[in-house]
A = this chain, B = another copy of it.
Amino acid sequence: MRTAEAICTKRGARLTDIRRRVLTSVWSSHAPIGAYDILAGLNADSGKIAPMAVYRALDFLMEHGLVHRLASLNAFIGCALADERHTAHFLICRACKSATEMDGAAVTRAVKKTLTAHGFIPEIEIIEIQGLCAHCSDQDVRRP
């Protein structure tokens, strides 16, 4: 959170009230959280924020790498490595709903290699592996 402020001031970006509240909401959820759940959280206390406001805040936060979007879940999650430029790769546990950002260097290298074979110029890498995390696979968790 302090990190977020630091990043924003460093870049001359404004971490306004609503953006801060959305970011807090994202971090306060242990699992990835949907935009409308964020919205509900914000409106629980006070008033009547519209979906647009949340989506705009999320766009801002994503631009600055403070939040990632999980395409396969339509959900958002905070990024702990926000000041480094990096592509996010996620391990998503279907049992405990956790989403862990993994070190994607090796994978990115493999992807790059395959891409050059195709002459493809990458801009956005969406890599989301769903399965069972180490903790849950020790439990009695069967396939759905």
B residues within 8 A CB of A133? Answer: 118-120
In the complex, whether A29 has a CB less than 8 A from a CB of chain B is no
B residues within 8 A CB of A126? Answer: 71-72, 126-130
Q: Closest CB of chain B to A78's CB: distance in Å? A: 19
Flag if B103 contacts A114 (CB, 8 Å): yes
Q: How far is the CA of A137 from the CA of B107 in the complex (A)?
A: 23
Flag if A120 contacts B114 (CB, 8 Å): no
Interface string of A99-137 (1 = CB under 8 A from B): 010111011011101110011111111111111111001
Partner of A120, one of B91, B103, B122: B91
Flag if B106 contacts A134 (CB, 8 Å): no
Residues on A close to B: CB < 8 A? 71-72, 91, 93-94, 100, 102-104, 106-107, 109-111, 113-115, 118-134, 137, 143
Q: 11 A-B pairs, CB-CB below 8 angstroms?
A: A71-B72, A72-B126, A102-B114, A109-B110, A115-B131, A119-B133, A119-B137, A120-B134, A122-B130, A125-B127, A126-B128
